[in-house]
Chain A
């Protein structure tokens, strides 16, 4: 991993992103790669991140990112 990339974990899977990426950048990338569903909500390190804050949320190395989608539930 060079200084120009950071390693984050998307739903537990290692993922390299350009250093300086914010959550909006990362989500755009993951959507284009079809790594995440189109209807989702996000959390970083266990804390909910509202959609309006994606662009202001800078990602750091080691961040644990949860992207969740609707499933059946009881």
Chain B
């Protein structure tokens, strides 16, 4: 197969699997899972931290050793001001202008607030950020985000941490039909088959965390997702057959023995 690279904001990647670094039992389990996933982009966050716990330094050391491109998030932010300020802190700390922009509008389903997300996007892009917005699958919101300058969209498959897969296939397919920019299904995936489905739909990449970190064997699950994402991508490139209502035999009917034979 010819080279099939993912390009996000001018950077190219061979892996289409973006992996989160939270919820693992230890920094070492996180490192092993990232390694098994083949991911070249990892998400991470910023929080108040007590240095005496010691995990923070180990975490950061392992992250650096992965050599992955860092995609800091603004998880937990509920206002434009919070998200913009956290993004600015991330840019300084991680020395990157990439940001996975999250502005949460509701605690029940952690749904992005589309209005605040758009406003924060506009502000951050004016400050030179490369925004990868965690958004809903709303077509008009996505149009506005692209108009604001986003070169990537990251609609949810399902609410964060639910593992429910692609809840609104129609909307996700509509986004694929309407946008040429890279699309990443972000959040809500629970099983490799769901990731494969997103890739078969033509999505360019998948971002997930909980499904790997909360598996009984996270590195093995990371490998399973990597295989599913690769298979889904190849299926998309190969072109899926059209579904149909009536059955159609795959074995030729011409030359069928015993066919309409009647004793005379």
Q: Which residues of A contact B (CB under 8 A)?
A: 11-12, 34-43, 46-48, 50-51, 66-74
Q: Which residues of B contact A (CB under 8 A)?
A: 20-24, 30, 43-49, 51-52, 56-57, 59-60, 63, 72-73, 75, 81-82, 85-86, 88-90, 92-94, 160, 187, 208-210
A34, B46: Cα distance in complex, Å: 18
B73 near A70 with CB under 8 A, answer no
State the total of A-B contacts with C-beta under 8 angstroms. 100
B22 near A73 with CB under 8 A, answer yes
A30, B44: Cα distance in complex, Å: 25
Contact of B56 among A35, A51, A69, A74 (CB under 8 A): A69
B82 near A74 with CB under 8 A, answer no
Which residues of the other chain, B, contact A40 by a CB distance below 8 angstroms?
93
If A70-B94, A72-B23 touch, whether A41 touches B46 (CB-CB below 8 Å) is yes
A12, B50: Cα distance in complex, Å: 12
Which residues of the other chain, A, contact B45 by a CB distance below 8 angstroms?
70-74
Question: Mind listing 5 A-B residue pairs with CB under 8 Å?
Answer: A39-B60, A68-B93, A71-B22, A71-B45, A72-B24
CB distance from A27 to the nearest CB of B (A): 13
Which residues of the other chain, A, contact B73 by a CB distance below 8 angstroms?
73-74
A38, B63: Cα distance in complex, Å: 16
17 extra A-B contacts, CB within 8 A, seeds A37-B49, A41-B90, A70-B46: A12-B48, A38-B51, A39-B93, A48-B89, A68-B46, A68-B89, A69-B46, A70-B60, A70-B63, A70-B94, A71-B56, A72-B30, A73-B21, A73-B73, A74-B20, A74-B43, A74-B75
